[in-house]
Amino acid sequence: MNIPFAYGKIVEDADFTDRTEETAHLKGNFMSLTNTAIISPRRWGKSSLVTKAIKAAKAEQKDILFVRMNIFKCETPQEFHSLFAKKTMEEISSSAESLLSNAKEFIARLLPKLTISDPLNQYEIGLGVDVKSNPIDEDILDLPQQIAQKKKKKVVVCIDEFQQIGEFKDTLKFQKTLRTHWQNHPDVAYILYGSKKHMMLHVFGEYNSPFYRFGDMMFLQKIANEDWKKFIVERFENTGKSITPDLAGYLAEQVENHPYYVQQFAQYAWLRTPKTCTQSIVDEALQSMLYSLNLQFVNLMDTLTEKQRSFLCAVSEGVKNFSSSDTLQHYQLGTSGNIRILKDALKKRDLIDVTGKDIQIQDPLLKRWIIQEYIKL
Ligand X SMILES: Nc1ncnc2c1ncn2[C@@H]1O[C@H](COP(=O)(O)OP(=O)(O)OP(=O)(O)O)[C@@H](O)[C@H]1O
Query: Which x/- pattern over 195-214 shows residues binding ligand X (rule: CB under 6 A)?
Result: x-------------------
Q: Which stretch binds ligand X (CB under 6 A): 5-13, 110-118, 281-289, 305-313?
A: 5-13
Residue 163 engages ligand X in binding (rule: CB under 6 A) = no
Quote the least distance from Cβ 15 to ligand X, whole Å.
Answer: 6
Quote the least distance from Cβ 49 to ligand X, whole Å.
Answer: 7
Q: Which stretch binds ligand X (CB under 6 A): 12-20, 78-86, 289-297, 333-341?
A: 12-20
Q: Which is nearer to ligand X, 36 or 195 (CB)?
A: 195
Q: Which is nearer to ligand X, 43 or 154 (CB)?
A: 43
Residue 349 engages ligand X in binding (rule: CB under 6 A) = no
Choice from 47, 51, 175, 273 touching Mg ion (CB under 5 A): 47
* Chain residues 30-89 in contact with ligand X, contact rule CB under 6 A: 40, 42-48
Quote the least distance from Cβ 64 to ligand X, whole Å.
Answer: 21
Residue 8 partner contact from ligand X, Mg ion, none using kind-dependent CB cut-offs of 5 to 8 Å? ligand X
Q: Which is nearer to ligand X, 21 or 326 (CB)?
A: 21
* Chain residues 231-290 in contact with ligand X, contact rule CB under 6 A: 259-260, 263
Quote the least distance from Cβ 262 to ligand X, whole Å.
Answer: 7
Q: Which is nearer to ligand X, 7 or 374 (CB)?
A: 7
Q: Which of 303, 302, 308, 300 is nearest to 365 (CA)?
A: 300
Residue 42 partner contact from ligand X, Mg ion, none using kind-dependent CB cut-offs of 5 to 8 Å? ligand X
Backbone conformation region of residue 33, classed left if phi is above 0, alpha if psi is from -120 to 50, else beta? left
- HSE-CB for 306 with a 13 A CA cutoff: 4
Q: Which is nearer to ligand X, 40 or 209 (CB)?
A: 40
Quote the least distance from Cβ 43 to Mg ion, whole Å.
Answer: 8
Backbone conformation region of residue 360, classed left if phi is above 0, alpha if psi is from -120 to 50, else beta? beta
Q: Where are the alpha helices (DSSP H) in the chain?
A: 20-31, 46-60, 77-92, 96-106, 143-151, 171-182, 197-205, 225-238, 245-254, 259-272, 279-302, 306-316, 325-330, 337-348, 364-369
Question: 268 and 365 in contact (C-beta within 8 Å)?
Answer: no
Q: Which is nearer to ligand X, 70 or 134 (CB)?
A: 70
Q: Which amino acid is at 323?
A: S
Question: 190 and 35 in contact (C-beta within 8 Å)?
Answer: yes
For 140-154, the DSSP string reads: GGGHHHHHHHHHT-E
Quote the least distance from Cβ 346 to ligand X, whole Å.
Answer: 18
Question: 126 and 114 in contact (C-beta within 8 Å)?
Answer: yes
Residue 17 engages ligand X in binding (rule: CB under 6 A) = yes
Q: Alpha carbon of 28 to those of 21, 23, 60, 148: distances in Å?
A: 10, 8, 11, 18
Residue 51 engages Mg ion in binding (rule: CB under 5 A) = no
Query: How many helices and strands (H and E) does the chain possess?
Result: 15, 9
Residue 8 engages ligand X in binding (rule: CB under 6 A) = yes
Question: 148 and 155 in contact (C-beta within 8 Å)?
Answer: yes
Q: Which is nearer to ligand X, 43 or 87 (CB)?
A: 43
Q: How many CB atoms lie within 10 A of CB 197?
A: 21
Residue 195 φ/ψ, nearest 5 degrees:
-90, -5
User: Which strands sit side by side in the sheet containing 188-193, from one edge to the other?
Assistant: 64-70, 154-160, 188-193, 36-39, 216-219
Q: Which residues bind Mg ion (CB under 5 A)?
A: 47
Q: Which residues bind ligand X (CB under 6 A)?
A: 6-11, 15-19, 40, 42-48, 195, 259-260, 263
